[in-house]
Every structure is written in structure tokens, then in C-alpha cells.
Structure 1
Amino acid sequence: MPKTSRRKLPVTLAEKHGSSSTSRTSRTVIRRFHTLLKQQKSVQGDTLAIINREIEDLGGLEAYQRMSCIGQSSDRGGGCEKVLLSWLKQMGWADRKSKGNQRHRLLEVGAIKSDNFRACASWIDVTAIDLHSRHPSILEQDFLLMDQSQHREAWDIISLSLVINFVPDGKDRGRMLTQAHSILRPNGLCFLALPLPCVNNSRYMTLEHMRELMNAVGFSQLEERWKPGGKMIYWLYQKQRSPQESRSADEVYFSRKKVLRQGGFRNNFHVLL
């Protein structure tokens, strides 16, 4: 997207962080961003200029991050890291260190806040990254552009919380998952969090399909949490195979979109390998 001058945010987006901004506003902004970014990749000329203008009018990526921050505030139940930490503690990770008696290395992708894991600093060493950092403690880094040879099997835990749903291309979503697998150490953990409709109201995704897709990448599902009528779904996966061992006919199967649900009012969320 070409650089443009900063525009004044619409009143609905310029509200202070907190309960004055409704969860409905947050969801509306995020959904619209998803639609516009998807369209941006397939149009040119005047249509592209119109889309870029609307993205700018919405406040750009900062507006999306602002809405994400609101969703993680304490008056909305806190961030997804609470679910991850509860699972890690159940597994005993808080009571033991990783190899060499070092803290567990956690890569937090798409970090909005810098202090999500502050209370666990004695046993978790966090590196937080985001495309556009909002804090000096968050590195400005595109996860897909990380040097895989430098980071291969370097991480104990990777958090992809509300990340792949913001990636507009299904193949890039798949690349994120395969890269997470590549840079995790053997038996490392991948935490994945998505809006529940991404899997229970998509034409191309179901819970079973997601489980099989992650297995094709080389992950085994350890935990899953969601509730009917809820807004979020959380998973915890463990790396089971090397990338070479993961190559199979299954990956070919997941390289194309397949309609798994019929009916109107479905979304088009999908992941391709």
C-alpha cells in the first residue's frame, strides 16, 4: 500500500481505550479490514485506490491494533494468553525449565501488548513481534520474513493468537503454520487462537478439517477449548514430526479449497498448505 498522510480517525475509532468502545465496534472494524485486505490483493487501478482510501479512512493497521487492544483489556476478560498459561501450568511447564535449565523461549506473534507474560518472567522468556510495533519491547518484524535457518528449532513455544485470521491469503496462513512448525524445537508447543466462526461457520473449514490439516503440517492436538455460542476457539498443538516427514499426500489434499458446508451466510475463511 502506498504511504499516505495520516488522516483524522472517525469518531467511532477515536474513542479512548476502555468500555466506551463496544465489542461490536471492534468486531465490525476487524471484519471490514479482513474484507478490504482480501480485495486489495486482486484488484488494480481505480478500484484499488478506493480500497486503499477506505483502509486509510478506517485508521489503517493502527485502528485494527487499537480494537485488538480493547478486546484484550481486563474489562473484557483479558487476553488469550490466560488460556495458554493455564494449559502450560497444567502440563507442569511452570515447574521445570527447558534444556540447559533456561527459561522456556516463547515467540509471541502479532503482539499487541508488551506485558502479557510479565507475571511468568521467572520461567518464560518472551520475544514479542508485530508488523507494526506499538511498544519499544515489541520487535517490528514480519513473521513470514524471519530467517528460518537462523530460527530453526529455536523456540519452545509459539503463540499465534488472533493472527492467521488477519492474514488475507489462505496460502500465507498455511505458510505461517508450517513456519511455526519449522522453528519450534522437537515437542515444542504451538498455541493457536481464532474467532470461532472461522471454523464453525466457514464454507471451507470444520473442527475435523482443522485437526487433520494441523496433523498434515506435523502437529498433534493436545488441547481445544470453545463453547457453543462463544466468540473464540483455542488450541494447543505439539510438534511431532520433522518438516521432511510431514510431506505426504495429505498436504496435496490441503492445497485446494473444498466446500465442506453448504448454505448461505457462511464466511470464506480457509487455510491452504
Structure 2
Amino acid sequence: MPAPADVSRAFWNIQRQTRKNTQKTPKHQNTITTFSIATPVASPMASSKKKRKPSSSLLSRRQTAAAAVSKPLPSKLSRKLIRSHHTAQKRLSQAIQQNDSTAITTLTTQLTTSGGLAAYQRASVSGQSSQRGGDSSRILTDWFTSLGIPKPKDAASSSSSNSPLSAFRLLEIGCLSPANAIHSYFPAPRRTLLDLNSLHPEILKQDFMSFPVPASAESGYDIISCSLVLNYVPTPAGRGDMLKHISRFMEQGLARRELRLQKPRATNKLHKEELKPVSSDDDWDEWFPALFFVLPAPCVTNSRYLTGDKLEEIMASMGYEEVRKKVSPKLVYYLYRYHGNGTGGKFKKVELLPGGKRNNFAIVVE
């Protein structure tokens, strides 16, 4: 049987090839799209009327095509696409583990013809649109408020001086849009946004598992957002590896916290006296480094192999403390503080809740 790392690597190679194939569009399709807006034929009676000056046809038609592509999908269709993509992905990972070449070919073709990762992302973007209340980071900003961290003075400003967290840095894994609610707290360049298939120039096209920990704490991160990403990893062992890789960044986050706490207090230059230290109400370092973590609710509420208690045990073993939690019918949200004093235990795939209608989502830590 292939090693978990080999399975994950093979899976992502297939996904990349799928994405590459879906991006190839025949020339005749471009022609149809370019001339999809018909020009009406003027009648003899209207010949005396002033003709309307045509606009820059190529630009306007491209904009029309782009608008059609970016139009949100119906919610039922979005959910159907997401579910079918996850099902095909799960079966593909099983086929790779079993070296079933026929199933691999069939499922790869299925993913390609259905639009692959690009279609999945479009459905995900539609699902997280503000009109549907799907931006999960709004939960995080609400939690910031409950922890005493005020909202930025000017959410629309790109200046980090407007944010109460101006000295903090964000790393977002699986980012679909640079306009999420949390980004107002971390304007560029105080954030790094990653995704396997970037949908925006600011989002780096990057596999997080090959994204290196920065060489110095100054370039590190204080909070990591991992929303609806872990469930996309095809194997239980691969999910455990992702959590361990996140923890490497968290270790550097601890070093950043120490650097902030060691900075000398400000002084009043006029009277040459030390200013009062920041009050505990304004001391937000105690909540960092932090991990904002989101999973589909059934991964925790209806799995044979993972429960809320088991997830808490896994996270505690890695050095995390739960600060906030919210369970909705569709999603479960967590905010963890990383203290680094974990036991470093191992967790196997063990059945906890038997039942025919439960799913097989699991996290294995080796």
C-alpha cells in the first residue's frame, strides 16, 4: 500500500492536471463568446436616424462574458456541485490507495468533465457570497469583538494604521476572495493569502503543504485561517500532516509574541517619564498566536471516527486551547490559541460511533 504522503501527492498531481485540462478552451468557443452579442440590422425607415457609435466591442463583450462567469450559482446547484465534487474526490483517493487504475481513470474523467477544481471553487464562492451570508470570517470578527478587539477605524482603508492589530500578520489557507470580513483587520501587506487555484492576483497559487515556514519570526504569522480546507485533504493521515504543518507556523507565532512583549515601553519625550503600560483590556497578545478553523458540521457531528471530544483531544495534544466555538447546522467554527505545551500524542482511525448513516471523516496523527 502506498504511503499517505505518496497518496496525497498523487491525488494533488491528478487535481492539478484536471485543473490544467479544464483551463484549455477550444478556439471556436472563444469566437462564440466574443460575438455572442448580436448587432441589430437597421431598417430602411430608420436610415435617417443617427446611428449609435459602437463601443469597444471586444472589451465590452469580454466584460459581458466575465459578468456571466462571475454570476452566482443558484444555492441548490452550488450545494450539489460541492457534494458531488467531494464524493468523487473521496472515491478517487480510495482508488489511488487501492491502485485501481480503471477507477482512477473514470473518476479523473468525471472530475474533468464536471469542471474540476474550477467548478468547485465557483460553487464555493457562490456559497460564501455576502448575499447568502457565507463569509465564515464574519464569525471570527464577531469573536474579536467579544474578546475586546475593536473594529478597524476605517474598514475600507488599506492602511494598517487603522487596524488595532497593526503589528499582527495573517496567513489564510484556501482563500477565495481578498474581500472577506477579516481582511479589514489585516490590510496588505499584513496578510498572505494562499489557494491551490488562485482566483485573484493577490492570492498566491500555492499548495500549503509545500509552503515553507518563514526564515525569521519577523516574517511569520500571528493568526492562521483554515476555513473548509482540511475536509478537502483526501486522506486522514494527510489531514493530520496539515495540522502539524500549521503548528510549525504557530511555533514561530510564539516567537513573534515574545518579540512584541520584549519591546520597550513608550516614553513621554516632554517629561522623560515612562508611560503607563497598556491595560489588560487592551492587551490582545494573550489570544495569539491563533488558529481560526472551520469544518463542515457532519465531519464532527455525524462521523464514525471523529467527534467534538476527539477533535478537542487531538488539538490539545498539539498545543492548542479552545477559545471560542460555534456549531451551526452546516458548519462548525473554532478559534484556538496556541500555547505549544502539547503532549504530542498519536491518533489512529478508530470507530467511535457506529451507524450505517454516518460518514467516514477522520483525522490520523502519526
Q: TM-score range by the shorter chain?
A: 0.7 to 0.9
Q: Which residue matches 1:165?
A: 231
- Cα distance between partner residues in 1 of 2:316 and 2:213: 21
Deviation at 1:17, TM superposition (A): 2.9
Q: How many Å separate the matches in 2 of 1:181 and 1:87?
A: 22
CA distance in 2, matches of 1:226, 1:63: 27
Higher strand share: 1
Confirm or deny that 1:233 pairs with 2:327. no
Task: Select the residue among 188, 191, 194 that pairs with 2:295.
Answer: 194
**Residue in structure 1 matched with residue 58 of structure 2 by the alignment:** none
Mapped partners of 2:216, 2:237: distance in 1? 21
1:269 correspondence with 2:286: no
Q: 1:56-77: per-residue Cα shift (whole Å, max 9, x none)?
A: 0110101111111011112211
Q: Which residues of 2 match residues 65-214 of structure 1 at below 5 A?
A: 65-94=121-150, 102-116=166-180, 117-121=182-186, 125-148=190-213, 150=215, 154-184=220-250, 185-186=253-254, 187-214=288-315
Q: Cα distance, 1:89 vs. partner?
A: 2.5
Give me the TM-score of the superposition, normalised by structure 1. 0.84
2:227 touches 2:292 (CA, 8 Å); kept in 1?
A: yes
Alpha-carbon separation, structure 1, partners of 2:149 and 2:227? 19
Q: Percent identity?
A: 33
Q: Distance in 2 between matches of 1:159 and 1:118?
A: 11
Number of equivalent positions: 255
- The correspondence of residues 249-260 of structure 1 with structure 2, limited to 5 A, is 251-252=345-346, 254=347, 256-260=348-352
Q: CA deviation at 1:106?
A: 0.7
Mapped contact 2:306–2:362 kept (Cα < 8 A) = yes
SS of equivalent to 1:27:
helix
SS of equivalent residue, structure 2 residue 169: strand
* CA pair 247-60 structure 1, distance change in 2 beyond 3 A: same
Amino acid at match of 1:125: R
Shift of the 21–45 alpha-carbon distance from structure 1 to 2, 3 Å rule, reads same
2:170 and 2:186 in contact (8 A); partners too:
no
In the alignment, which residue of structure 2 is the partner of 1:11? none
State the one-letter code of the partner of 2:295.
L
SS, match of residue 269 in structure 1 = coil
SS of aligned partner of 1:92: coil
CA distance in 1, matches of 2:332, 2:207: 24
Q: Could you state the TM-score of these two structures normalised by the residue count of structure 2?
A: 0.64
